[in-house]
Structure 1
């Protein structure tokens, strides 16, 4: 077997860092030396692995096909080194997860309990924010997001599509006459996020004739929205897996299709995907979130 692991490692780190200059710093070698190793691997394999994109590099289709295999080699090399030195195979260290208020409150506790049970050496930090954490600046290791990232140095896995419905207490819906969604909703109160027309437009698109006058309560904090709806103060927009499991509320308009579908993505920085503890947490998150 004549395959040169040093060339493969040069390829992997360059792919993770996105440029020869960053990869050379990470590997502690000169940029020309690194460039020669990558070029030699391309010649050895007979494929082009990178193409230039401004000041950086992006993987070609052939490079994309090969990088996961090389990453597996890197992980195997790490395991080999640990075994040879007699080091423990236990996973230890901190992993930071970024999540929204709803994900952090309703979905993460059980998942974190499993992580701590199965991997007690891993410490978990949770950043709760409605804003997307910047993984490139290491504001978090893993993020649960409702949109697909566009940055080339991030790895994303789509977990599922989440149906969003309207919920209210049975008592509240009785007070407003249990109207159909396409009926006169003038007397029906909704709990909104802000004074923009985004939610109004989504409800109109779903066949409901509502205006800003239907939103007497505005709050960006979704947990307060949920609490207000459970107190019988109006209709709230909430994910199906959470709303259907709450005994104090029901779907405001039974039989109605979801008013919106929101994707759920799990996102990790490409470099961190080679970390065993981050990969373990990433995989457990994906498994548990996918069960909902």
Structure 2
């Protein structure tokens, strides 16, 4: 009988998972607080332990091999289990207290964070949370927030980050709107439809037309700089708008329009100070956000 393969070192597994999530060895090294050569050695050690090649180098970028793709499914499950263990350990004590400031886009603050706070209330009822709801990037270095939920990765080495699944934006409309104007079956059907623009329609138009929608600036009868307001206008039946599936799935009486439309990806990054490693309250909030946004 063959001896079972020894369990790989968790640090090596974490190095592999973080490299996949961050997209490069340098970004993964910053996230884990390691040098890039150290991280490379850990990934190479995992490959040696498993006897497979996990990454292929294409120019300066990395690409997962077939073996790497297969391993990633199990490794992500291990990562989620590790987060759950961390949360369970944090939840053993109800004494976590103090203030944590979270900066987030207004639509996430409105529709996603309330469920996060319900979870935190059970784990640490003495914790205080302040929401900085803004679509601009809060300056963590100036302590405008302790944790930020952003669309871009940080570049400062003093900050650490975790990439969550993309907030992919699909087309949606209220059932009341579709009952009045009909349900589009192909892209040509939205030529005269009313659209709701978030920020500047001129920024959104290239994304829509590149995906085959025959729309112009004339289609945007409503525009706002607030994603939360734009979504409320969709819910009120005023037109078609873009929203992440995470939020749309929580919203009654709203339907996806043209399911064949290629969604617009919007990366989501959790970013915080390196104080994460020493502050129990920031660590707890960060871990719950990772769990709920994942």
TM-score of the aligned structures, taking structure 2 as reference length: 0.65
Note if contact 1:195-1:212 (Cα within 8 Å) is conserved in structure 2.
no
Note if contact 1:181-1:208 (Cα within 8 Å) is conserved in structure 2.
no
Note if contact 2:99-2:129 (Cα within 8 Å) is conserved in structure 1.
yes
Q: What aligned pairs does 1:210-249 form with structure 2 within 5 A after superposition?
A: 210-249=215-254
1:147 aligns with 2:122: no
**Which residue number corresponds to residue 55 of structure 1?**
none
1:61 aligns with 2:65: no
Q: In the alignment, which of 257, 281, 286 is matched to residue 282 of structure 1?
A: 286
Aligned residue for 1:183, secondary structure, equals helix
Q: In the alignment, which of 267, 271, 275 is matched to residue 275 of structure 2?
A: 271
Deviations 1:25-50 (A, max 9, x none): xxxxxxxxxxxxxxxxxxxxxxxxxx
Deviation for aligned residue 1:59: 6.6
1:126 aligns with 2:131: yes
Q: What aligned pairs does 1:55-204 form with structure 2 within 5 A after superposition?
A: 60-61=35-36, 90-204=95-209
Q: Give unmatched runs, 5+ long, in structure 2.
A: 1-32, 41-92
**Which residue number corresponds to residue 32 of structure 1?**
none
CA distance in 2, matches of 1:212, 1:226: 19
Work out the number of aligned pairs and report it.
211
175-184 or 277-286: bigger deviation:
175-184
116-125 or 95-104: bigger deviation:
116-125
- Which stretches of structure 1, 4 residues or longer, exceed 3 Å deviation after superposition? 62-65, 174-177
Larger Rg, first or second structure (1 or 2): 1
TM-score of the aligned structures, taking structure 1 as reference length: 0.66
